[in-house]
Structure formats: C-alpha cells, structure tokens
Amino acid sequence: MKSKMNDKSADPSRPNIIIILADDLGFSDVGCFGSEIETPNIDSLASDGGIRFTQMYNCARCCPSRASLLTGVYPHQAGIGHMVYDAGVGPAYQGFLRRDVATVAEMLKRECPGAEENADDFDKDGRKSAKRGGGYATFMAGKWHVGSEYPPDASHEWVQNTMGDETHPTPTQRGFDKFYGTLGGGGSYYQPPSLVRDDGVVKEVMPEGYYYT
C-alpha cells in the first residue's frame, strides 16, 4: 500500500511508501476489501491517498510470495521457486534471493545489482550509501525468510556467523537501511529464533509481556 502522510513539506512526487505482507491472511479479511472485521487503521492507509492492490497474487507459500513482492518477478526468477532450501536443480530453486534480481528497496535507493560503482557509493564502513539514486530511506520489520534456512534451534553464534554469507543474504545487504525481525521462518513469538537488529543477533532473553508482532 502507498500512503501520502500528513507532512506538508513532503515532496508529492516521492510519497512515503508502506508495504505490508501478512501471512495466512485472506483477500477479504481486511475491512477495505469487504471484511466484516473492522480494521480501521489498515483501511486508512488505503483511503488516505493510498492505493489498493488488485493484481498481487500469493504464491501458495510465504517465502515465494515474499520473494515476488520484494522483487516484482515470479518466485522462480527470484530464486525461491519452492522454499528456502537448495533443491539442487538450479538457481530457480536455490532458496535465497538471486543477486541479479533487484529488490524494491534497492530500486528505491537505486542500488541495483550490476550497476556501475565508485568510491562515492559507499560510506566510511564500506556500506552502500544513499548519495546516488532515489534518496529513499528504507526500513523493514518482521520476517525476512528469503535468505536460506535458519533452523529454529540454531544457536545465536551459528546465526551470527552464518547470516550475510553468500547463501544467506540479509535485508541490510539487499537495500534496507534498518531491519528488526527474524531471518528464518516460523518460531516462538515470545522468544523468537534468529531475531536480528540490523546486522547483529538479539541475544537477550525477552522480558515478560514481549510479543514479536
């Protein structure tokens, strides 16, 4: 969904953009699509200068649907034709986002794979900067699940040492400035496995009353 916020100084040619993907949610479970359940906050995103998607189709499972939404291509083209494990039958089923397919975050920042790079494209820490391109700041929260497998019983050390390698791309490697969420699939919402803030694993025990969503 795209929403023009109430900031009158915002450039109308570059509105704020919010995309929400909810697992296991039916097409008509949201009020603005006809649900009997009241969802006024979500409805306001669609009505207050926003748009409603009518041609976004799920891909039967969560991670292929995420891959399509993030890239705008079929999940096989993005590298996640089935789930997030390497099926051993080529790049269409490699289980993580392909480097030659850009994400929406990379497009908004114009950090497209294969683009010509120079020293000005990186900050002092060697990370891609937003000096060139669209100038959008990009943020993601929630489940990533498009960067290979993260076993729910994996140790913090394993996750930290594995995330970011060639087969385990992270959100901050694929165009997002900030990220808070889980890299793997399902798990506890009270003490989520593979919970990460930016590029570091969150190791502390969650306080009573914490709930991931």
* Tokens at 207, concatenated: 């306080």
Q: Which of 76, 145, 156, 168 is catalytic?
A: 145
In the numeric block, which tokens belong to residue 74? 């079929």
Cα 69 to Cα 25: distance, rounded to the nearest angstrom = 15
> Is residue 145 flagged as an active site residue?
yes
What is d(CA 77, CA 101) in angstroms, rounded to the nearest whole number? 8
- Of the residues 63, 76, 82, 112, only one is catalytic, namely 63
Query: Would you call 146 exposed, middle or buried from its count of C-beta atoms within 10 A (0-12, 13-18, 19+)?
Result: buried
Q: What is d(CA 166, CA 173) in angstroms, rounded to the nearest whole number?
A: 11
Whether 63 is a known active-site residue: answer yes
Distance CA(136)–CA(17), nearest Å, equals 10
Catalytic residues: 63, 145
